[in-house]
Structure 1
Amino acid sequence: MSALICGSMAFDTIMVFSGQFKNEILPDKVHILNVSFLVPKLRREFGGTAGNIAYNLNLLGGDALPMATIGHDFGPYAAWLEQHGVQQQFLKTVPDAYTAQAYITTDLDDNQITAFHPGAMSFAHTQSIVKKTDKGPVKIGTVSPDGRDGMLLHATQFADAGIPFIFDPGQGLPMFTGDELKDFINKASYVAVNDYESEIIMSRTGWTLKQIAERVDALIVTSGGKGSHIFAKSKVHEIPCAAAHSLADPTGCGDAYRAGLLYGLLRGLDWETTGRVASLIGAIKIERPGPQNHTFTMEQFRARFKKEFRYDLL
């Protein structure tokens, strides 16, 4: 059984400014802003929601199928995916576009200035979901941050095909009205958000968490270091935050967590265990910089799971 992961593939170029933005920007001159930052540290990461979730689900041994639109510059990312055994048959190249990419400059106070170019992501709506692959039927899907039209289309296609999916709006939330968010929720089987995103959804829809949870099989709300809550069948499961050995970089932790959810759903695990799998892989991710630089074997993961939660992951 496969998980069809609809979302973005992107390059993240991350630069570190060895000063503070506040010392370089004059508040009374922002109308003629013209600044330049020397950035001695730079790294380029492979990212995007579909890529990150698929990478993590692949580590867990799941059949991850990322579906996204990519640009003519995707070659290095394709080589990375091939190296790590992530399938690419549902990645569609848009020849005249660049792959989506973010340029992020961070100062010593952890403030960020980001420029994002959607590129090929804007053509996500040219992809249609599939119900079956050469390995069997698609058991579950995700609608994660992507082109606006693509997210709307894929939610409808999943619903029409009878394929349960996780609505994972993430940074795509600002693109949708309250009525559109209600429609996503009514079509989805699961909704996964962080605590800030849950507040936005409640504000735009006028629905409480309880009302949202009543419309889906499960509502998952993460709260960073405070753990997460899974609202399912009138019960709230409190999921502890797994201990991390270090706190290197939170980028991609939410995507890792969602891969853990998919793993549990594909295997039919209970919510207590599914949430703990998601929590642990999020902790493993935060120990390394970038969204796809961590690795483990399932033997190592099960050993750490037992040590952390005091029971076996079967």
Structure 2
Amino acid sequence: MRIAVTGSIATDHLMVYPGRFTEQLIPDQLDKVSLSFLADTLEIRRGGVAANIAFGMGRLGLRPVLLGAAGADFAEYGQWLSANGADTDSVYISESLHTARFVCTTDADQNQIATFYAGAMAEAREIDLAPVARRVGGIDLVVVAPNDPAAMLRHTDECRATGLPFAADPSQQLARLGAEETRRLVDGARFLFTNEYEAALLQERTGWTAAEVLARMGTWVTTLGENGVVITEAGGAELRVPAVPTGDIKDPTGVGDAFRAGFLAGVVWQQPYERAAQLGCALATLVLESVGTQEYKPAWTDLLARIEEAYGTQAAEEIAPHLPDPSTAGGAS
């Protein structure tokens, strides 16, 4: 099974503010906020939703096709992704714009304030899926992750027109999308990924109830932070999978992307959704314990030990045969 991951490719500038944002907000002055936070640290990391998902899948031994737009400054980043298992040959390179930038500050409560500069991502609407599918010998699932909104709609429409299965992952772009646009992104999806807040926002945007959303697509995967994930299908019972516990939280950036990478790997391996979600939760915890979205170097023995502790021996035994090498981390360093 070959998966193409469309979406943002970016460089992350991650800062940590030791205080709490909420302590600086004056309730009756919120109509004219002007705040500056003195950060203690700055980390410049590789990121972007599609790149993060492709990286995670590559670390798990797969070869996802990365589809997105980047600038001429992408060369080194592209080499890194390729060395870690992603197919980057179809990344669109802009002749005039830089690769997108994500600037994020995290406070002591893990709240975040972020700004995203699209840059070359605005040209992702020029990408056509058909030539890419021909190049790689066919695509079985297209992940439509946060991207230039016109690109997201184009990819979704092309999938529907050609009968190509797709996963809708509108995420933070829901804030930019209108009702009809959001409906177009969801309608007919094999998978829908949201977090708990985005699930409510998606219903507000579409005007559909949860049941009406489910009637128009396949499987709805909603991440719940420290409470794990819930997987819902139309007319079916909910499947709830708890998170993998951790006492070493460093940075929440990219946790959802890592979950998607693990879950999609489980889908490729034809694992039941419970196992796919368990792998996704375990990979997400590794990112939560790292600074940066692609800095984790999983040792599979440790990953399996976490899965066994959280979900039992059978879960670890069923996931283990699919990992690239149970004794090494794999990928580039």
Same-fold call, TM > 0.5? Answer: yes
Structure 2 counterpart of 1:289: 291
Q: 8 Å contact 1:60–1:298 — kept in the other structure?
A: no
CA distance in 1: counterparts of 2:180 and 2:45, whole angstroms: 35
How many residue pairs get aligned? The number is 313
Q: 8 Å contact 1:140–1:164 — kept in the other structure?
A: yes
Deviates further, 76-85 or 148-157: 76-85
Structure 2 counterpart of 1:116: 116
CA distance in 1: counterparts of 2:302 and 2:107, whole angstroms: 36
Question: CA distance change for structure 1 residues 305 and 25 in 2, over 3 Å: closer, same or farther?
Answer: closer
Q: 8 Å contact 2:266–2:272 — kept in the other structure?
A: yes
**Runs (5+) with no aligned partner, structure 2:** 320-333
**Runs (5+) with no aligned partner, structure 1:** none
Q: 8 Å contact 1:122–1:147 — kept in the other structure?
A: yes
Structure 1 counterpart of 2:324: none
Q: 8 Å contact 2:211–2:234 — kept in the other structure?
A: no
In the TM superposition, 1:89-104 aligns within 5 A as 89-104=89-104
1:258 is aligned, of 246, 257, 260, to 260
Superposed displacement of residue 167, structure 1? 0.2
Q: 8 Å contact 1:7–1:49 — kept in the other structure?
A: yes
Paired AA for residue 5 in structure 1: V
Question: CA distance change for structure 1 residues 160 and 42 in 2, over 3 Å: closer, same or farther?
Answer: same
Deviates further, 300-309 or 41-50: 300-309
Paired AA for residue 147 in structure 1: D
Superposed displacement of residue 57, structure 1? 0.8
Structure 2 counterpart of 1:152: 153
CA distance in 1: counterparts of 2:30 and 2:259, whole angstroms: 42
Q: 8 Å contact 2:244–2:282 — kept in the other structure?
A: yes
* Aligned-residue RMSD, C-alpha: 2.6
Aligned with 1:246: secondary structure?
coil
Higher strand share: 1
Question: CA distance change for structure 1 residues 158 and 36 in 2, over 3 Å: closer, same or farther?
Answer: same
Superposed displacement of residue 148, structure 1? 0.8
Q: 8 Å contact 1:284–1:294 — kept in the other structure?
A: yes
TM-score if structure 2 supplies the norm length? 0.84
Aligned with 1:66: secondary structure?
strand
CA distance in 1: counterparts of 2:112 and 2:225, whole angstroms: 19
Structure 1 counterpart of 2:250: 248
Identical-residue share of aligned pairs (%): 28
Q: 8 Å contact 2:156–2:184 — kept in the other structure?
A: no
The question of 1:56 aligning with 2:56 is answered yes
Structure 2 counterpart of 1:185: 186
Question: CA distance change for structure 1 residues 305 and 115 in 2, over 3 Å: closer, same or farther?
Answer: closer
Deviations 1:57-83 (A, max 9, x none): 111222211101001222332232244
